[in-house]
A = this chain, B = another copy of it.
Amino acid sequence: MQPEKDFRLTRQRQIILEEMRRMRPHPNACELYDAVKSRLPHISLATVYRNLEILSEKGFVRKIITSGRQKRFDINAGAHYHAHCILCGTIVDIPVATEVMRVLPEKPDGLENFRVMETRVEFFGHCGACRSIGTTAEDEDSRRGPVRCSPAE
């Protein structure tokens, strides 16, 4: 590991964190970029990416694991799991059930030397909205596929 640089709380970083708290959860870099841009019109996407990386090293945010092409990020608000709708892409937070917490092994079977730093539980399935609408759902606001940055004007 590197000799650890010091961390400056720039205006860009403050606003990135503020917007992450304000907007709907689990934005990807572009959604966040659009939100931040409304307050800092000259910020660049590269800055957003760089800062998400750094903020996640520092523990302010975390990267959500996904099988898709875009990364999504989470403001760190204590332990919780995720439920992914495989039809519309929505991700929902789940509070950690204490019983699960107690049972999940500290040392996974057969990996004596592995030091667990984080355990994640991810549910995959069909969310309520998709189930009620069927498979051709179009409830725009609740579903999300890949998201692009809005075009420069």
Answer whether residue A122 sits at the interface, using C-beta atoms and an 8 A cutoff. Answer: yes
Instruction: Give the 8 A-B CB pairs with smallest separation, nearest first.
Output: A113-B128, A63-B67, A117-B125, A118-B124, A116-B125, A94-B108, A65-B65, A65-B67
| Bound CA–CA A20/B83 (angstroms) | 28
Answer whether residue A76 sits at the interface, using C-beta atoms and an 8 A cutoff. Answer: no
| Bound CA–CA A112/B128 (angstroms) | 8
| Bound CA–CA A132/B112 (angstroms) | 13
Answer whether residue A71 sits at the interface, using C-beta atoms and an 8 A cutoff. Answer: yes
Residues in A lying within 8 Å of B, measured CB to CB: 1, 63-67, 71, 81, 83, 85-86, 92, 94-95, 97, 99-100, 103-105, 108-128, 131-132, 135
Selected contact of A115 from candidates B71, B99, B126, CB within 8 Å: B126
Selected contact of A122 from candidates B94, B103, B113, B119, CB within 8 Å: B119
Q: A65-B65, A83-B108 are in contact. Are A131 and B113 (CB under 8 A)?
A: yes
* Most chain B CB within a 10 A radius of its CB, from A1, A64, A114, A115: A114
| Bound CA–CA A122/B105 (angstroms) | 11
Report B-chain residues with C-beta under 8 Å of the C-beta of A127. Answer: 111, 113-114
Contacts A65-B122, A92-B111, A97-B109 aside, 15 further interface pairs with beta carbons under 8 A come to A64-B67, A66-B66, A85-B114, A94-B109, A97-B105, A100-B104, A100-B105, A114-B126, A114-B128, A115-B125, A115-B131, A116-B124, A119-B122, A119-B124, A121-B122
